A and B are shown apart, each in its own frame.
Chain A
Amino acid sequence: MRPFKILLSLVFLLSAFSVQAKIESKDFPNEQMEADYTSLVAELRCLVCQNQSLSDSNAELAVDMRTKVFKMLSEGKSKAEIADFMVVRYGDFVLYRPPVKSSTFLLWFGPLIFFVIAAFIVFSFIRRQSLEKPAIDEQEQKKAHSLLDDE
């Protein structure tokens, strides 16, 4: 049992390293910059593995884009300036939270529209059900009551 435990803890220890190896270490001069960097790379989309953010992706372009973000922050650029820099080059697609405008209207409000339609259908269905007469008539109901009373 003991060697197994040691082996298991080794596996967990090493797997922790592999997770850490994903993001290259960067030296941040202050906490504010580190926070800005972390939030930016989480909000920018990797163009290669499109369902991953820059921080998640191991793609080489993502590595270079992270480096660019870091460099621009070091130069004193604001978060908005860096996001704009990426949008100018890659379009709104690069943002995980694209701005609300006519081309992204359906993206933002589509789910709400579907919810309203679904709610309307469910509501009208329930209403119709309650308006319809009960499935059994009076006589059957009496019979049912008498059967129940017998017990």
Chain B
Amino acid sequence: MARYGLLIGFFILIGVFALVLDRMGSGEYNPRDIPTEFIGKAAPGINVPDLYDPSKVVKVSDMQGQVWLLNVWGTWCPECWREHKYLNELSLKGIPIVGLNWRDEAVEAKKMLDRMGNPFVSIGFDPHSSVAMDWGVYGAPETFVINAQGIVVAKHAGGITPTVWAEKFAKHFQPVQPSSAQNTMKSNGTL
């Protein structure tokens, strides 16, 4: 009897192991996916020169009053090339996207945008990870959603796809409900 117990225990362990492995494979419990510390907190600053106009500084405050995306990318990152077409689509739909060109060559970055199109309203140029570190970025692409009050409300590590958009981001871009619009006005009033 004890021997059967041991065997059953063994199979239960195998089952648990397979389950966890399967979940990890489908994106849950992914040990490489580090949860961001910034959800619900004020967006960190950007404050680096614009890729196209180094005399201009890209700032979070420029985007206040609208829901927007911060997309971290680099020409060295294959997934960034893959998601670029979809970023163009989003931009055409009127989603404001600020780019952060991370650890890249300015010439190469501009070349890529010439070829693929430019979905960004402005692009911070961050060759030494100073902004990337402030935002807790550890890979590219990474995309943050920042609401009209400047609070980070969502983040996705990896390429943006229609599925990711529908599951994680779309809800933050819904037309503002009357009650929350009032709240917005109130908080703006107190500011």
Grouping DSSP codes into helix (H, G, I), strand (E, B) and loop, the A interface class, with mixed when no group exceeds half, is helix
Find residues 122-153 in chain B having any chain A CB closer than 8 Å to their own CB: 128-130, 132-136, 138-139
- Nearest B-chain residue to A48, judged by Cβ: B138
Residues of B within 8 A of A65 (CB): 129, 133
A91 and B138 form a contact (CB under 8 A):
no
Chain A nearest CB, measured from B149 CB (Å): 20
Q: Looking at chain B, what size class is its interface with the partner chain?
A: 10 to 19
CB pair A47–B129 under 8 Å, yes or no, is no
Q: Taking the complex as formed, is A78 at the interface, i.e. its CB lies under 8 A from any CB of chain B?
A: no
With a cutoff of 8 Å between Cβ atoms, the chain A residues found around residue B32 in the complex are: 50
How far, in whole Å, are A32 and B53 apart by their CA atoms in the complex? Answer: 42
Number of A-B contacts (CB under 8 A): 42
Query: By the criterion CB–CB under 8 Å, are B128 and A90 in contact?
Result: no
Q: In chain B, residues 96-143, which have Cβ atoms closer than 8 Å to a Cβ of chain A?
A: 103, 128-130, 132-136, 138-139
Given A89-B136, A90-B138, CB of A61 within 8 Å of CB of B129? yes
A residues contacting the other copy or chain, number (CB 8 A)? 15
The answer, yes or no, to whether B37 is at the interface (CB within 8 Å) is yes
Indicate whether A89 sits within 8 Å of B129 (C-beta atoms), given known contacts A47-B138, A48-B139, A61-B138: no
Closest CB pairs A-B (n = 5): A47-B138, A64-B129, A89-B136, A91-B37, A90-B136
Could you write out 24 A-B pairs with CB less than 8 Å apart? A47-B34, A47-B139, A48-B138, A50-B31, A60-B129, A61-B103, A61-B138, A64-B103, A64-B128, A64-B132, A65-B129, A65-B133, A67-B128, A68-B129, A68-B130, A68-B133, A87-B37, A89-B133, A89-B134, A90-B34, A90-B136, A90-B138, A91-B35, A91-B37
